[in-house]
Amino acid sequence: MKLYHYTDGAAVKSIIEKEELWLTDLRFVNDAEELKHGIALALRYLNTLGHGLDYDAKSSVEYVIAELKSYLENISPPNNMFSCSFSTVPGLLSQWRSYGTLAIEFDQALLERVLPVVECSYDSDDSYRFAVSNTAEVLNACLTDFKAQAGFASGAEQAFKALLTKVAQIKHPSFKEEQERRVIVSSKGRDIHHRCRGNLFIPYVAVKVPRESIINIHVGPQANQRLVVQSVMSMLTACDPDKRIGVGEDSTPYRAH
């Protein structure tokens, strides 16, 4: 399968030259509300579990609720997760408009040799069941830890990281046309950097990607599109001496605003 990362010229040059992707802190992604949507579904399920539980089970529920709520508010949460988004749809006008008029086409199989790629869920009922199932797994891990050690340890921590990855796959149905895939990793053992977006300092981690996973650069609708194609080809003569990466021109009509 092919994956398309819609972006701008500076990012394309950086990704190809450095052979790395910048994964953004999930709380700072452009559609951060989507993360809140997934967490809200998990909390909705957890809030139905308050009655008839023994002390250990109740403690586990309270722990997960507190962790989910604090994750969005903590400046540097211990379970920090970072992501990069892709679409399976080429030439998508909404993506050109939102993220930039260039798109890098990746080979998913080659990308998955070094990074985990997960599929997003858009169906409301399926998303809730998805959240319930994965939240239940976290509760079981917490309960095991609590009973064994009278506290929460590595099992609960790993399960909570897994839950964050899962809720980050839940998206609102209105975004279904994107058919999004995400690479999601933990910050553990990685250096956290910051880039500026307006007055926001966005945390990100840099992860290596194999250059052979990059197939094409697609040039989207814009003024001087043909000139942009030529400039991308010129850049690739320096960055891709083996000429493995192609350049394509999207046929979507350009409309000046």
Q: Report, in this order, helix, strand and coil percent for the chain, each rounded to 5.
A: 45, 25, 30
Most confident of 143-152, 210-219, 245-254: 210-219
Rounded CA-CA distance 110/127 in Å is 28
**Computed over its alpha carbons, how large is the radius of gyration of the chain?**
21
Question: How confident is the model at residue 147, as a pLDDT?
Answer: 67
Mean pLDDT of the chain: 86
User: What does the alpha-carbon distance between residue 41 and residue 36 come to, in Å, rounded to a whole number?
Assistant: 9
d(CA 96, CA 239): 24
- Fill in the DSSP letter of residue 62: H
Question: In this predicted model, which residue has the larger pLDDT, 125 or 112?
Answer: 112
Q: What are phi and psi of 249, to 5 degrees?
A: -110, 115
Burial of 92 (0-12, 13-18, 19+ CB in 10 A): buried
- The residue among 252, 183, 182, 179 whose CA lies nearest residue 221 is 252
The vertex-246 CA angle with 236 and 253, nearest 5°, equals 105
φ, ψ for residue 152, nearest 5 deg: -105, 130
pLDDT in tens, 1-48: 999 999 999 999 999 999 999 999 988 887 656 678 888 888 888 888
At 70-100, the pLDDT tens digits run 877 776 666 688 999 999 999 999 999 989 9
DSSP code of residue 26: G
Residue 118 confidence (pLDDT)? 92
Which residues, in sequence order, are CB contacts of 215 under 8 Å at separation 6+? 2, 105, 106, 107, 245, 246
